[in-house]
Amino acid sequence: MKIIIILFCLTSFSAFGETLKGNYELQNSKIEYLVKYLIKKADGESVSAKGKGICSEKKCEFLVAAPVKTFVSRDSNRDLKMLNTVKVEKNPMVSAMISTEKEVSNNILLANLEVDFAGVKKTYEKIPFEFKKTENGFEVNGKFDLMIDSHNVEKPSLLGVEIDNLVPIKIQANWISK
């Protein structure tokens, strides 16, 4: 489930219109996830995503990836089960291709995320991200719901009850111009 979150790391966008041109690198990020059971919640995060991007006259495209093993919660046993569930040996990375047109409204940028989680790609369309310009680049914050069954992951269960299909992912990312 934690892997799902990485998707997200996935956040860099050309929301600054004319000023966002050239090459960018992910300086730092935090990807958080929340897994919900019937009577319990489990959360975790990764701060190990790497990414690069390029913005042209009309479009920005970014690639962000993180090792699945870097998604940790406060329960090492649960983390180990997650690694087995997503078959980390075959799928050691979670990645996202992010693309957006240079259209911003009220500091919100809409982006399409093609998330590769557990070896299965799914596109999440028109995900809103808040952005703000920084001295050397920009900061992006957003959230979306990762759909576990769309990535062919067998949902873990607690006391015979499977986790929710929707896993909220929260992303904070700082991009710098290169």
Q: How many C-beta neighbours within 10 Å does residue 158 have? A: 14
pLDDT of residue 156: 80
* Helix (H) / strand (E) containing 79: helix 76-85
Q: How far apart are alpha carbons 145 and 151 in whole angstroms? A: 13
Domain ranges of the chain: 2-177
| SS3 assignment, position 7 | helix
| SS3 assignment, position 69 | helix
The pLDDT-based confidence of 11 (bands split at 50, 70, 90) is very low
Q: How far apart are the first and last CA of the chain?
A: 32
Q: Which two tokens mark 176?
A: 């710098």
pLDDT of residue 157: 79
Q: What is the mean pLDDT of residues 137-152?
A: 94
Q: What is the mean pLDDT of residues 155-168?
A: 86
Q: What is the mean pLDDT of residues 98-114?
A: 83
Distance of CA 101 to the CA centre of its chain: 19
Q: Which two tokens mark 153?
A: 């992951």
The pLDDT-based confidence of 9 (bands split at 50, 70, 90) is very low
The pLDDT-based confidence of 7 (bands split at 50, 70, 90) is very low
Orientation of helix 2-9 relative to helix 76-85, angle to 10°: 80
> Percent of the chain scored above 90 by pLDDT?
57
Distance of CA 137 to the CA centre of its chain: 19
Residue 10 has pLDDT above 50, yes or no: no
Q: Are strands 108-117 and 104-105 parallel, antiparallel or unpaired?
A: antiparallel
Q: What is the mean pLDDT of residues 101-106?
A: 67
With b meaning 16 or more CB within 10 Å and e meaning fewer, what string describes 58-71?
eebebbbbbbbbbb
Amino acid at 47: V
Residue 127 has pLDDT above 80, yes or no: yes
Is domain 2-177 annotated with CATH 3.40.50.450? no
* Higher pLDDT, residue 103 or 43: 43
* Higher pLDDT, residue 57 or 122: 122
Residue 125 has pLDDT above 80, yes or no: yes
Amino acid at 157: S
Yes or no: say if 150 and 14 are a contact pair by the CB < 8 Å rule. Answer: no
